[in-house]
Each structure stands twice: as structure tokens, then as C-alpha cells.
Structure 1
């Protein structure tokens, strides 16, 4: 039942693709990075508030006995309240979406268009030149034949695989015993590190990334971020020599830098994908992107866990013993993604080449 429910939640949650397309289309070209950053920021806020709120509302009969009796409906179904609240929140968002103006205009213009539609129509002039330099639907009917899009999609999937594998490995490595190359941290310590990292991600996406992308462009920004990620990962195995405050400070800094650099690559990939297709195909392109990315992310945790278990058995190996092998393989995947950002593999529209 739990697996079926999770499957339905994933299958029916087709929001991320349209949201990415919408954020690109309602922003002027010079503000695309900020629009994509807002999507990432909203996602990050959800990842922080969602689990916290779910944990706070779960088992209300035990936490709030004055409000919920153990014999009540909420006492017999201790996890119904957080599910109810999330469903009500989704219903409110659905109602709000009714007033959101459409960005894909195929109807004839009417004289009584509201101001929101007129404002969005004004944005279309900004995209006219951009879309003219992107192959039209008549030239490329299939997204699979659009190599600028497909090259950015494949690169995006490689980096997404790396990020998910890193997320899986980080917690296992941080909580494993020091004799196995870990840090012997508690789950609370790891949670604190991830919370601090999450807050930093919100600040970075809103303030730093848009400026960086404006200066370097999405491709060069991705390359710089990938190189820095590899350098940071090289130092992870040596954190076992630290302890106390020094370990806490270094680990938090490394985690903040790693996650923010990873978000830089993902946000840049979003921009490349949306700029590689005409407006008519952006919804389908983002839907395909999310679908393929989800497949890679579903494989990554199992692969990372298997490699981590294997690495624990080779603590005294000559070539990258123990967890050094884990981080070496993570860097190998990151290096593959970096290589894919160069020609002849990576192709970008001439007007957007970086």
C-alpha cells in the first residue's frame, strides 16, 4: 500500500516541469536566472518546512492530549492530521492557480483582455528574437532530435545522479564509525548540518546565483561549479582527522559549498533546456526532463548504498581504501558531467552559447 501510494503521488505530481517553463516565460531574458532560482528556493523551503511540519503534526494525541483524545479519530490514525493539512494546502494552491494567467497564447487577441494578460503579452516581444533563433516546430517536431536540448538534458541527468548519490552517501558516511572512515556523528548532528545547508541554499539562490549566471553564463557557471565540487569532495575523507568544533565548522562549510555549487549546476541546466526549445515545446521539454531525471535519481540511492557497503569491506586496500573509493567514484561522475559540458557533446543555441 505504501509503495502504491508513493507511486501515485509521483505519477500525479506533474508540477515541476510546468513551473520551470512558467518561470522562464514570465521573466525577461535578463531575469531568467532569478526566475529559475525562485523555483529552487521554493523547493528548498518546502524541503525544510514540509518534514518539520509533518513531524510536528504527527501523532497529535500524544503531543496534544488536551486537543486530541487517544480514542478519537486522530488518536486511531496518528498520521492523518499531517496528511490532511498537506491536502488542504494543495487544495488552496489549486484554487489560487485559477487566477494565474496563461503564458502560451494561441487564441486571438480580444479587446477586453485583462491587465495581467497584457503584461504577459508584452513579455513576448522579449522572446521573439530568442525564439526566432531556436528551431521551430516545423523544423524539429521531436524533442529527441533537438540536440541542444538533449545534450543539456543528458548532462543534467548525470549531475542529478551525482547529487542524489552524494546525498545518500553523506548521511551514511557521517554516521558511520571512525574505524570505517566515518565521522561517528549522531543523526541529530547530521540533521543540523543539513538544516544549516538548507538555509544557506535559500540565500544563495536568491542573491548569488543570478549575478554569477549573468556574468559567466549557464555553461561556464556549470563548469566552474563542477570543478569546485570535485576539489571539495577530495577533502571529505580527511575530515576523519578532525573532531569537536573544528570538525563541525569544516563539515558545515564543506556541505554548504557542495550543495550550493550543485544547485548552481542544476539551475544552469534548467536555463539551457528552456532556451533550447521554442515556447510551444517548453512544457513538454520540462516534463520529459523531470521524468528522465527522476529515473536517474531513483537509481542513485541504491547504487550509492551498494558502493558504500562495498567500500566498508576494503578498509586496507592499496587503491583508495574505504570511503576514499566512494568519494573517488563521486568525483568520477562529476568529471563525466563536466566533460559533457564541452563541445562536441554540448550544443547550445548560437544566441545563448556560453
Structure 2
């Protein structure tokens, strides 16, 4: 079979003149239905808007630990870096978790486009504010503003469900993890390369007092430019597919086929965010403290290379794997690879301490970790599809994605502080040789694998969605 036929429980608003909640007049075998071409311009705009969040989120990762040390909040104690860096990273998702559900519900009432424009404008302003912050409290306020004003992470998934139908929904949603992966290429690359431009390009930026004072403004400006350009594209080209409505009560979406994927989304977001935070933190920490002593630019290059590879995996490997294994098997298999990714951290630390440097053995294990992380990332596509496939009706798309994103954002808010604090505690108290954080997270992964058994083995068909809603 060439395409996986995903019949959402929602009613896509393009490519068809009828509400797809109604059963087809002449039942047809799903494998024989022609695939509706994806609306290329609308798809491009939605994906470009989605790109703004991972760039804004990850651009600070290569330099946030160094920034925390430079502003003096740690008092010169390198072991405390994880506490403060984790707080900055967490605040984006903490404030997003508080507001994203309301942004999603608002998009159900007034439309997707106005909410998306507000979110992009807010991301750009708050990113620029972060770049000129010189004190810790300023960083905190800027990061909070980024999260509070960003409702697009859930709204774009609602738009994706509306511009696709049952024949091409899997292909459309397969792009979302790829876009996040692309953002994780661009964001760390920008952060790693453009931080401290006065040192990298002393003959140009080094002559400007502004960049000597605000050493991290340039990467923040570059990240904000994506949000600004996405704002322009959305304003001009995005068609509003959502008609105004009164919205739906939250209790109407609290059904198993929605709740089960959302719970798994929470586990996935927590574990993935923890790994994303621990990578640059462990890579940048000195070898004698359990890290690898890699430079900021090297960390950016590593994360960039992983992002490029992940983009290809999502485009070319995810759709056939989903067809072959189904959402539950693929999710469980992918999520289990986080165990491998986490277990390689203490192994790299041990090898680096023994050799006193990052030798070829450490690099082999690091590459193995990145490969395991590539496999694990397929879990995102499964969850995105399961959440939208389980939505009871079109009017609940914004609320469903908002609730899902609230759960994921809450976990992503907790994960950086939890993982980075556990990292620091493990080192300070030499818990399990300074590696306790990794084994604790492995236990969380096991819990997520148990939750994964509640996911549907097959996606809802058009007819079964109608039967459940009637």
C-alpha cells in the first residue's frame, strides 16, 4: 500500500464539499481512495509558522549555560549553572502551559489567523527583549513573555487538520516533526555561531559598543527575524478556514481516544525536553565534573548535524514505518530508544574521565546516542496524528490541540528545571557516581512505555468516527 489512510474524527475544511463526519454515500476501500493533493501554499505557511517556535526555543541552548555564568548569578560556582539555566529554559513552557489552551479555544471562536498573528508578533518582541537583557530578572521576564504570547504551537496543528483530509492527513502531519527538527538545526546553529560576535568578528562587530555589551543580541535578532517573516507570510497568504463558532466545553473532549494520546504526549514531552536540555549541559560541563568540555560552537554543530539527519528520517522513514507498524507499535518502539539515548550519557562521561579528553571512543558513543535519538523522535509524528484523529469533531480541534499542548508545555516546563537540577544534585552529592539523573529518567521512560499500551493500534476510520459521534 502506497499511502496510509488516516480517517480523522474531525471534518477537514478544504479538499471536500461535505462534512467528513458524515459517512460516504458509497463506501470505498480506504486503500483505493485517491490521495488528495496537499494545498502547497497553505501547507508552506503553516509549516513556516510552526518553525518559529523551535527556533525561538532552541536558539539559547548553546549559550544559555555560558550566559548564566557570565551574568554572575552563580557566584562563580559552576555546579550551580544547571539550576539557573534550567529555570530560564523552563519558564517558556510554564507560561505557555498557562495560556495555550485559552489561545486554542479562542481560535475556535474567532478564527486561527488572528491568534497566529498575535503569537508571531509576541515571539519576535520577546526574543529581542531577551537579547538585550543584562540581568537575570530581565531574562526571566523575557522568557515568560515568549511563552505567554505563543499560542501557535497548538493552533498550527488545528490548521493542519483543517487543510488535510483522510487521504493525506498522515503525509501532512509527518511534516510537523520534520519542521521541529529543522528548527532544532537552525536554532542551535544560530545560537552557537552568532553568540559573542565581537570575539568572532572583531573587525566588524567588535568595533560596536552595543554588541560588546549585548553579546547574545545577534542570535536573538536572527531568531526574531523568522517570526517577523512568518507574520508577513501569514498576514498575506494564509486563508482563514475556521468559521466563527461558540466553541465547545472542555468536558466534551475528555474521552479515551483523546485523553490517552495526550497522556502519552506528556511523557514524550518530558523525556524529550530532558534529553534536549541535558545534551548541551553535559557536553559543556568540564570532564572532571562528568561532562565533555565541548565548546559552544561544537555543541551547535553537533545539534545541527543531528537536526539535518532527523529531517530526512521524518520525511522518508516515518510514513512507511507508520504504514507497516501502526501508531501504537511505532510509538512504543521509538519511545523505547530514549533508554539508549540516556544510557550513553554516563558511558561517555566514564570514557572521557579515563582518557582525560574526548577521544575516538567517546565520539563513537556520542554518535550512537544521536542515532538512538533519531529513532526516538518518530514518536512525535505518532502522537500528533493520534491526538487529531481522536478529536470528536471539527469544532473541538482548537480545544483538543490546546489541551494537548497544555499538557506537553507543562511537562516541558518541569523537565528543564527537574533534569538540570538533578544533574547538579547528582554531581554535588556524587549520586550513583554523578549519573543518578540519567537512571531516574530511564524509570520515567519505562512509565511512558506502560502508558503507550493505551494508544489505539489503528486510527479511526471515517465510518467508525461517525458511529462514535452519532
SS at match of 2:239: coil
Deviation at 1:56, TM superposition (A): 5.9
Mapped to 2, the partners of 1:76 and 1:46 lie a distance apart of 27
Report the CA distance between 1:187 and its aligned residue: 4.2
What's the CA shift string for 1:270-306, capped at 9, x where partnerless?
A: 1111111022211221122222211211111111122
Distance 1:211 1:284 in 2: 30
> Matches of residues 1-354 of structure 1 in structure 2 within 5 Å?
1-53=138-190, 63=201, 70=208, 87=224, 89-97=226-234, 98-104=236-242, 142-143=251-252, 145-239=254-348, 240-241=350-351, 244-258=359-373, 260-277=374-391, 278-313=393-428, 315=430, 321-343=432-454, 346=455, 351=460
Question: In 2, distance between residues paired with 1:70 and 1:279?
Answer: 53
Cα deviations by residue, 1:245-293 (Å, 9 ceiling, x for unpaired) = 23213312322322x2332112211111111102221122112222221
Q: TM-score, normalised by structure 1?
A: 0.74
CA distance in 2, matches of 1:84, 1:313: 36
Is 228-237 or 8-17 further displaced after alignment? 228-237
Distance in 1 of aligned mates of 2:160 and 2:399: 15
Instruction: Give the structure-2-normalised TM-score.
Output: 0.58
Change over 3 Å in CA distance of 1:155–1:85 after alignment to 2? closer
How many Å apart are 1:323 and its aligned residue? 4.1
Length, aligned pairs only = 315
2:29 match: none
Distance 1:28 1:61, change over 3 A: same
Alpha-carbon distance between aligned partners in 2 of 1:188 and 1:68, rounded to the nearest angstrom: 18
Q: What is the deviation of 1:143? A: 4.8
Contiguous gaps of at least 5 residues in structure 1 = 108-136
Shift of 1:313: 4.5
Once the two structures are TM-superposed, the CA of residue 32 in structure 1 deviates from its matched residue by 2.9
Structure 2: segments with no counterpart, 5+ residues: 1-137, 353-357, 465-470
| SS of alignment partner, residue 142 of structure 1 | helix
Deviations 1:305-324 (CA, angstroms, capped at 9, x unpaired): 22222322554x7xxx2244
- Counterpart CA distance in 2 for 1:348 and 1:200 is 28
2: CA distance, partners of 1:89 / 1:179: 39
The 1:65–1:236 alpha-carbon spacing in structure 2 relative to 1, beyond 3 Å, is: closer
Q: Deviations over 1:8-36 (max 9, x none)?
A: 22111211212122223323435433322
Counterparts of 2:299 and 2:417, CA distance in 1 = 20
